[in-house]
Amino acid sequence: MNLRSSLVLVALLLPLLAGRPPVAAQQPDGVTVRDVQQRDTDGDGQPDVTIIDCSFATERDRVLVYDLGNDMQAASDWRSATDFTNDAWVFDAGADGTAELIIRFSTNDQQQIAELFDDRTSDGMVEYTASPSFAIRESLFATVQVRAVDGWWEQAEWVNYNLDISTDGPVRTMFSWSDYIQILSNHNGTPDFTIQVRDPDRDGRPDYQWVDIAEGLALSSSDNVVRTSLMVNPADDEPPVRGAIFWPYLGSDSSYTKDYGISPPPISIDWERAVINHVGEFVGSRFNDAAWFVYSLERITPAELTSANFEAPFGFYDLARDDDGFPELQVRVEVTEPYFFEGFPHWTQVVRYSWDQHNTQNWDYKLDLVGSHEVASTVALPFADATMVPYADLPAWVTGREWGLINFAATEQPYWTSEGIYEDLVPVLATRSQYVTGQINRLPASDYSTIPAGMRSEYSGTFARPALYFSPIDRKLHLQSASTGVWNIGRTDRDGVAALYYDNLDGDAYLDQWSYIEVRGGSQPITITRQLTMAASHLLYTDGNEVRLLQTTAAPALFTTAPPTTYSAWQRLGRLLNAYEREIDPGDFPAMLAQFEGPQQRITGATYRDFRPTESGFRLVLDVQPDAASSGPTLPGLEQLAAGTYLVRYNADEQTFSSTPLTPATLDLALVLPQQAEARAIGNLLLMGVQATNSGLADATGLTLITEASLGDRSTSLVSETLPILSDRTVWTAINWQPSAAGDWQVQARLTDQQGNLVAEAQQTITVQALPERNIQTVLRFTGSYGSWSLAWLLLLVIGGVVGGILLTLRPATASEEQP
């Protein structure tokens, strides 16, 4: 091999060594060409128009290419006969003699320009004339203009993706299209959107696409619309375009966004209506395993450093490093900048973090994270800098911070969307706008109905970093510090509908109670309930007919892990799940119990309820039927239980049970009122309270406490709330009251049960004083001294006297004053 050949070989191989091979320009496969003919209309011996008989929209279409540069070649192949340099292409879908699209190509300042004209007059065609010379009559302005920055559309090797595009009129250019439709009816020569596509390494694959709304577009600053969108392919692996109609960017696909593994021509035409549908994605926003985009409500401009907000960024990651085009991790950050919420001077984020752990193109797990974190990093975007979290750092940024709300979801059946798992147990947007901004004291209520069948979800509000653990009980991955959750099992194979509820009764990092409820249909619906509880080295099970108590030392977690952010972490988690996961039916608690060893007492004909941890261990209420029988080793303290209802306590230090016949809740109320007389004055803020005590053995739940203050026929409601009062506990309810009148107020507190029966009450009289500061003199003193307001009133009387005196000056008209 000589030097020249070697150099050629190196030149050819270099792109391969550098990365992906360049994409060769494809034959336009969106059109079938049947025949090419040419005509010389001016008799100069050179063809002036090429007529291509083809199919691109219907069975029979036609394209007429007019030579505007007087350089048309005689040829039977359309590629040789025509060009995209100075010809006008008239697309006649249906070959009916009307044009549905015209593209006028030209050159200006070494840039290739394509001007696309569509129907602007709603007559279904683009008006033009061909003689004596070609002219477009439809509109003075092109609807879409494309400029090839490098001066060419395609060369032998590849298609040029260094393009500047502008649109003028109702052409979709953004994902969120409906926001703009009202303001884009004007087709006036002024661009509404600009799009910049770039392929810096000129390998025939676009690397990024920047869509920007025109600065002068009539939008109010309070309009929450996306003003800048940016799509980036960091792996530079956009699939080659398929389905082009002659020109490599022209097609008929109806979808604005791409799909996995395909790139339709981004400029799409509706041939029936003769309009340009959209200038869609050159660079895919979602449909790749290494991609990210920004949809910012704040317009990102080089004029100043902008805080990118809304989806900034939305990233996809190839955690499996398999480059299969499907992401294994999706991280979406919805950002609001300081003062987006009125009066709230901090950033907020709502994050969706979904990953495909098993690499089966199904999202297996998802975290929603809501909180408030400063965003300080500046990212150099293609045309401007913006304040946002960099794509590469995003997973670690999310998992390395504490969040006020974390929702965790796991799919138990196939689930795939282009944007991750949507469902959230605790509404994330309400959490951000109300809880994170400090307006409310508690997380918004969870809504189990949002969890579809085949999905389980739990949440934590403990302000912590996201962490997961694997439960040895149900062999599932769970969220650490979750307080409650649900698995919507859906239909069972016994014509029932079932759900599994999770609870964390002791408030530690692990769930400790599983409650299975199944409702089976039929002429007489029945409800199956089972419960499994883990506490103080015991596992307890009941199904309403029997109780099993297993003494065992199961660890609360087989392993703990952070959400995967890297290939190695993802692999490690996969290995652990493979090692520990088992197929256990979600309601099969006996199977879960069977995983553990230890003495197990089984009591048939019994059930337990009202389980709760205590400081020394736990307690429950055991209902023993007359036909109850015990088998297996008897646990200390549970011998010879006759029929009845018992309070059973377990002492973890002594490792013994004790049982006592259950007595009902005994409730007592006491009002605690301010003692100091000076404090008890009208207008003062009084801190009072109600103390509720339950001295019985049974817990009391669903109670309603109402407290009122009354003076004569005037009544003020002070407290109205529902609360539980557990056995041996005292509950304090604070009351804030500002008495509005002096006198002997009667303060009454009443406690009622779920049926509305009065179970406890308390009443006290509080004497509210009318302090001297609260009378008329006080009001007068607000506005000055005794002297000044006395003088003022005196002056007032003088003014009145003067005006009254003026009346006294009126006299009947005299003779000289009489009117003739």
d(Cα 625, Cα 619) in Å, to the nearest integer?
A: 19
- 642 touches other proteins by CB under 8 A: no
Alpha carbon distance, N-terminus to C-terminus of the chain? 135
Contacts of 421 by beta carbon, 8 Å cutoff, 6+ apart: 352, 354, 363, 366, 409, 411, 415, 455
Restricting to residues 350-379, which ones interact with other proteins according to CB under 8 A? 372
Binding other proteins (rule: CB under 8 A), the pick from 37, 568, 736, 754 is 736
Does 687 contact other proteins by CB under 8 A? yes
**772 contributes a contact to other proteins by CB under 8 A:** no
367, β-bridge pairs = 353, 408
Q: Is residue 435 within the footprint of other proteins (CB under 8 A)? A: yes
Under the binding rule (CB under 8 A), the answer on residue 507 touching other proteins is: no
Query: Is position 429 an interface residue for other proteins (rule: CB under 8 A)?
Result: no
Assess 721 for contact with other proteins (CB under 8 A): no
Q: Which is nearer to other proteins, 433 or 504 (CB)?
A: 433
Please report how close the Cβ of residue 762 comes to other proteins at its closest, in angstroms: 20
Q: How far is the CB of 751 from other proteins (least distance, A)?
A: 23
Q: Are 534 and 614 in contact (CB under 8 A)?
A: no
Exposure b/e, 444-473, CB count within 10 A at least 16 = b: bebeeebbeebbbbbbbbeebebbbbbbbb
Residue 680 to residue 20: CA distance in whole angstroms: 82
Stretch that binds other proteins, among 46-54, 144-152, 608-616, 796-804 (CB under 8 A): 796-804
Q: Is 798 in the site for other proteins (CB under 8 A)?
A: yes
Beta strands in 233-322 (DSSP E): 250-251, 267-270, 275-279, 291-296, 306-307, 310-317
CB of 464 to other proteins, least distance (A): 11
215 backbone φψ class: left, alpha, beta (φ>0; ψ -120 to 50): alpha
Q: Which is nearer to other proteins, 9 or 734 (CB)?
A: 734
Among 32, 417, 740, 767, binds other proteins (CB under 8 A): 740
Closer CB to other proteins, residue 16 or residue 440?
A: 440
Q: Counting contacts by CB under 8 A, is residue 682 touching other proteins?
A: yes
The smaller minimum CB distance to other proteins, of residues 10 and 796, is found at: 796
The answer to whether residue 805 forms part of the interface with other proteins (CB under 8 A) is yes
Q: Of 15-23, 226-234, 301-309, 781-789, which part binds other proteins (CB under 8 A)?
A: 781-789
> Quick check: 648 binds other proteins (CB under 8 A)?
no
Note whether 594 binds other proteins by CB under 8 A. Answer: no
* Contact of 600 with 632, CB cutoff 8 Å: yes
353 or 403: CB nearest other proteins = 403
In this structure, what token pair is assigned to residue 472? 């040895």
**For residues 664 and 800, which CB has a smaller minimum distance to other proteins in the complex?**
800
Residue 489 C-beta-side C-alpha neighbours within 13 Å: 22
How many positions of this chain bind other proteins (CB under 8 A)? 62
The answer to whether 43 contacts other proteins (rule: CB under 8 A) is no
User: How far is 115 from 134, CA to CA, in rounded Å?
Assistant: 14
Of 47-55, 99-107, 692-700, 785-793, which segment contacts other proteins by CB under 8 A? 785-793
- Which one of 717, 734, 744, 754 is in contact with other proteins (CB under 8 A)? 734
Which of 380, 445, 758, 808 is in the footprint of other proteins by CB under 8 A?
A: 808
Is residue 671 involved in binding other proteins (CB under 8 A)? no
Contact stretch for other proteins (CB under 8 A) within 306-314, 320-328, 698-706, 803-811: 803-811
**For residues 410 and 456, is the Cβ–Cβ distance under 8 A?**
yes
Query: What amino acid occupies position 814?
Result: T
Cβ atoms 327, 316 nearer than 8 A = yes
**E strand spans, 566-684:** 600-613, 617-631, 644-651, 656-661, 667-672
Give yes or no for residue 797 binding other proteins (CB under 8 A): yes
Of 132 and 345, nearer to other proteins (C-beta) is 345
Q: What would the x/- binding string for other proteins be over residues 398 to 417, using CB under 8 A? A: ------x-------------
What is the closest distance, in whole angstroms, from the C-beta atom of residue 677 to other proteins in the complex? 16
Residue 341 is a binding residue for other proteins (CB under 8 A): yes
Token pair, residue 646, equals 């018992």
Q: What is the SS3 assignment for 206?
A: coil
Query: Is there a contact between 498 and 587 (Cβ–Cβ < 8 Å)?
Result: yes
746: left (phi over 0), alpha (psi -120 to 50) or beta: beta
- Phi, psi angle pair for 382, to nearest 5°: -55, -40
Cβ within 8 Å of residue 342, ≥6 positions away: none
Query: What is the C-alpha separation between 624 and 603, in angstroms, rounded?
Result: 9
Nearest CB to other proteins, comparing residues 631 and 717: 717
CB of 335 to other proteins, least distance (A): 17
Q: Is 686 in the site for other proteins (CB under 8 A)?
A: yes
Of 694, 545, 692, 551, the C-alpha closest to 618 is: 551
C-beta closer to other proteins: residue 579 or 791: 791
Residue with Cβ nearer other proteins (440 or 594)? 440
Does position 131 interact with other proteins (CB under 8 A)? The reply is no
- Tell me which residue of 234, 211, 575, 507 sits closest to 383, measured CA to CA: 211
Answer yes or no whether residue 799 interacts with other proteins by CB under 8 A.
yes
Interface positions, 451-490, toward other proteins (CB under 8 A): 463
Does 439 interact with other proteins (rule: CB under 8 A)?
yes
Decide: is 676 part of the binding site for other proteins (CB under 8 A): no
CB 578 within 8 A of CB 570: no
Contact residues: other proteins, CB under 8 A = 341-345, 372, 404, 434-439, 441-442, 463, 682-683, 685-687, 734, 736, 738, 740, 773-774, 776, 778-780, 782-784, 788-789, 791-792, 795-814, 816-817, 819-820
